[in-house]
Amino acid sequence: MKARYVIGCTIITLLSVVGLANYYFETAPTTTKTDVAKVASGTTLKVTNNSMFQKKSPEETPAPVNIRNSVAPKNTISTNGQPGTDLVTVTRATHQDDRIYRSTITPVVKNIITSPVNGQLDGQSRRYGEHLKKGDKIVGIVSEEARNQLLSDTANYISSRDSFTLSASEVKKNIELEKKGIISKRELQQSESAYVRAMIEMVRSRIRLKTTAQRLDFDWQGVEKIHNNRSLIDKKSASSTEDVVEYLLNRDYVVNIHAESDGILLPKYTGQGNVEFFDFSLGSEVRERAPIGMIADQNQISVRFIVSEFEVLSLSIGQPVELTIPVMDNHKLSGKITDINRFDFRSRGGQAQGIPVTAQLECGEIRCDRLFSISADVKALSEETNPIQVPLSAVTEENGQFFVQQIVDNKPIKRPVTTGETTKNMIIIKNGLTEGDQIVRDYPATED
Pick the most confident of 3-12, 137-146, 206-215, 362-371: 362-371
Residue-level pLDDT at 154: 84
Torsion from C-alpha of 186, 191, 196, 197, nearest 10 degrees = 110
Q: Are 312 and 390 found together in one domain? A: no
66 is a domain residue: no
pLDDT of res. 44: 35
Give the pLDDT mean for 275-286: 83
Q: Per residue in 315-356, pLDDT tens?
A: 889 999 999 999 999 999 999 999 998 887 665 555 557 889
Residue 130, domain member (yes or no)? no
Residue 64 domain flag? no
Mean pLDDT of 349-370: 84
Q: Are residues 299 and 318 in the same domain?
A: yes
**Residue 446 and residue 317: Cα distance in Å, rounded?**
38
Burial status of residue 377 (CB atoms within 10 A of its CB: 0-12, 13-18, 19 or more)? middle
Q: Tell me, what amino acid is at 9?
A: C
Same domain, 337 and 399: no
Selected residue with higher pLDDT from 20 and 167: 167
Instruction: Classify the C-alpha dihedral 283-288-293-296 as positive or negative.
Output: positive
Q: Judge if 267 and 299 occupy the same domain.
A: yes
Output the average pLDDT for the chain. 77
Torsion from C-alpha of 167, 173, 179, 185, nearest 10 degrees = -30
Out of 70-84, 218-232, 331-345, 362-376, pick the least confident. 70-84
Question: Is the domain of 154 the same as that of 235?
Answer: yes
Quote the domain boundaries for residue 149.
Answer: 144-252
Domain annotation covers residue 372: yes
pLDDT at residue 371, as a whole number: 92
Query: Above pLDDT 70, what percent of the chain?
Result: 70
pLDDT class of 257 with cuts at 50, 70, 90: confident
pTM above 0.75, yes or no: no
What are the beta bridge partners of residue 396? 403
- The CA distance from 211 to 150, in Å, is 9
Residue ending a domain, choose from 210, 228, 252: 252
Q: Which of 28-42, 54-68, 240-254, 427-441 has the highest mean pLDDT?
A: 427-441
What is the Cα 226 distance to its own chain's centre?
55
Shared domain for 233 and 162, answered yes or no, is: yes
**Which residues are within 8 A (CB) of 116 and not within 5 positions of it... i.e. 6 or more apart?**
215, 255, 257, 288, 289
The percent of residues above 90 in pLDDT, for the chain, comes to 30
448 falls within a domain:
no
Note whether 321 and 410 are same-domain residues.
no
The CATH number of the domain holding residue 329 is 2.40.30.170
d(CA 303, CA 50): 64
Name the band, by pLDDT with cuts 50, 70 and 90, for residue 246: low
Least confident of 84-98, 379-393, 428-442: 84-98
Instruction: Tell whether 133 is covered by a domain.
Output: no
The reported pLDDT for the residue numbered 120 is 86
pLDDT at 352: 59
Give residue-wise pLDDT tens across range 54-93: 333 333 333 333 333 444 445 555 545 454 578 888 887 7
Cα torsion through 366, 371, 372, 373, rounded to 10: 180
- Considering the domain architecture, whether residues 360 and 284 belong to the same structural domain is answered as yes
Q: Is the pLDDT confidence value at 135 over 50? A: yes
Q: Looking at 235-244, 267-276, 337-346, which range is the least confident one?
A: 235-244
Predicted local distance difference test score (pLDDT) of residue 248: 57
pLDDT band at 426 (very low <50, low <70, confident <90, very high): confident
Range with lowest mean pLDDT among 124-128, 236-240, 255-259: 236-240
* Same domain (yes/no): 364, 269: yes
HEC per residue, 405-444? EEEECCEEEEEEEEEEEECCCEEEEEECCCCCCEEECCCC
162 domain-assigned: yes
CATH of the domain at 416: 2.40.420.20
Does pLDDT of 139 surpass 60? yes
Mean pLDDT of 151-173: 89
pLDDT digits (tens, 9 = 90+) for 15-40: 766 665 565 555 554 444 334 333 33
pLDDT band at 216 (very low <50, low <70, confident <90, very high): confident
Q: How many CB atoms lie within 10 A of CB 121?
A: 22
Decide: residue 147, CB within 10 A, 0-12 exposed, 13-18 middle, 19+ buried. buried
**How many domains are there within the chain?**
4
Assess if residue 65 is contained within a domain: no
